[in-house]
Amino acid sequence: MRGETPTAPPPDPSFQPAGDEVPYALRIGAAWSWRLVMIVLVAWGLFYVVAFFSVLIIPLMIAALLAGLLSPLVRALHRNRVPKGLAVAIVEIGFIVVVAGALTLVGRQIVSGISALWGQARAGYEQLMGWLQSGPLQLSTAEIDRYLQQVVRSVQDNSSTVLSGAASVGTTAGHVAAGLLLTVFSLIFFLLDGDRIWRFVVGMLPRRARPATDGAGRRGWQSMVSWVRVQILVAAIDAIGIGVGALVIGVPLAIPLAVLVFLGSFIPIVGALVTGSVAVLLALVALGPIQAVIMLAVVLLVQQIEGHILQPLIMGRAVSLHPLAVVLAVTGGSLVAGIAGALFSVPLLAVVNTVIRYLAGRQWETDPLLVGSGADGYGRHAEDTDRQRQDHGRSGADAETAAVNATGADAPDADRSDRSDRSTATTDVERTR
């Protein structure tokens, strides 16, 4: 019939969408896969950016680590009524003096001991040549000379590579000098205005994201500061253990070795072992194989104490990281970014772990660091949003209502003046009568 709306045919009960034909496990796997691919792409992009700006980023990261170490001293001086700028100057100059003094001491020890070590190295080289001739290899003098000539010839053939390496070393030295200046300059402002810089960064984010970002950043900073302090303790124990062992055995340059172990121990687990191998090599060259075996035993003992006592009990509680995670982080960081990656992998992992736990648990909602945090009001972002909506969300109708209210408010005054004029006129008429 005319005027009737045509009806759609009834759905076929046997028809199913194409998505329903895909197994549930495959759909879940696909959903995970493309998200993981996006994470890998973003991580690769971040790594490319960091690698491109490494000359800028690495000094900033070193300055952040030093700021976490030195900030308690600045706060202690500031609490004792020392102006903050003066406190920063005292702490940073004192730190530079201590580092320069340690390097001067190490340099003098090396200069004073290198002559004796050189003679011992020559004696060890002669012993090695004698062992090659009379030992199980039974090499003749002509064969040894031929091997040495091959080594010299290979160096001459690759002279261009050696020269390019020397040029790269010069470029690297320039980058290191610029990085040191940038580190010192950045450290001043991190100690002086670190909290203000962080609030400026948080203030650029959307208002509702500020509490979570502020709280996560502060907790991550606390985790990094804890790592720096604990790592200094661990490095000091490693340096004292290996240094005292070298002094007892009689290894030359024991004090420079202790300083080297202290610096190398900032790469957890691996650093002390690598720097301790230098002590074993010196013991082998200067004292012989027996003392080298004893030195190796000392290094392994210190390494076992670090791996089984210091790392699980002290470092694990400070940064909430399992020793296996520490080892994997150091290995992966060294493969990706060399020494810098090995140095920063563990503190970065500690910060990321803390931030993820903080955000996943929505801890900013009850974080005592944010409740009533101050003038910026990160803990009252909802009230600020409502107040802004009330202030800036008025429409034209609200303006008209305000105008009408203003007119209505003036109307009683006009009526009052009219009544006053009428009463005055009536009084005048009565007086005339």
Walk along the chain (433 residues) and give the pLDDT tens digit of each residue.
455 565 666 665 555 555 567 788 888 888 899 999 999 999 888 888 888 888 888 888 889 888 988 888 998 998 998 898 899 999 999 999 988 888 888 777 777 766 666 666 666 666 666 666 666 666 666 766 776 777 667 656 665 554 454 444 445 666 778 888 888 899 999 998 888 898 898 989 898 888 899 999 988 888 888 888 888 888 888 888 888 888 888 887 888 888 888 888 777 667 777 788 888 888 887 777 788 888 889 888 887 787 677 766 676 666 777 777 777 887 888 787 777 787 888 888 888 888 998 999 888 888 887 755 543 444 444 344 344 444 444 444 444 444 434 444 444 444 444 444 444 444 443 444 4
User: Residue 167 falls within a domain, yes or no?
Assistant: no
In a domain, residue 216? The reply is: yes
Q: What is the Cα–Cα distance from 346 to 53, expressed in whole angstroms?
A: 21
**Does the residue 241 lie in any domain?**
yes
Q: What is the DSSP letter of 397?
A: H
Tokens of 172: 């690297």
Find the domain containing 296 and state its range: 208-367
Whether residue 341 lies inside any domain: the answer is: yes
DSSP element (H, E) containing 196: helix 159-203
Q: Structural domain tally of the chain?
A: 1
Is 154 inside a domain boundary? no
Residue 44 lies in a domain: no
Do the Cβ atoms of 246 and 286 come closer than 8 Å? no
**131-163 b/e with 16+ CB inside 10 Å = b?**
ebeeeeeeeeeeeeeeeeeeeeeeeeeeeeeee
Q: By the 8 A CB rule, do 211 and 372 touch?
A: no
In the block, residue with structure tokens 């261009």: 160
- Residue 172 is assigned to a structural domain of this protein: no
Structure token pair of residue 328: 């994997």
Angle between helical axes of 54-79 and 210-249 (0-180°, round to 10): 90
In a domain, 426, yes or no: no
Confirm whether pTM is higher than 0.85: no
Q: How many CB atoms lie within 10 A of CB 4?
A: 6
Tokens coding 324 = 């296996």
Q: What does the alpha-carbon distance between residue 60 and residue 56 come to, in Å, rounded to a whole number?
A: 7
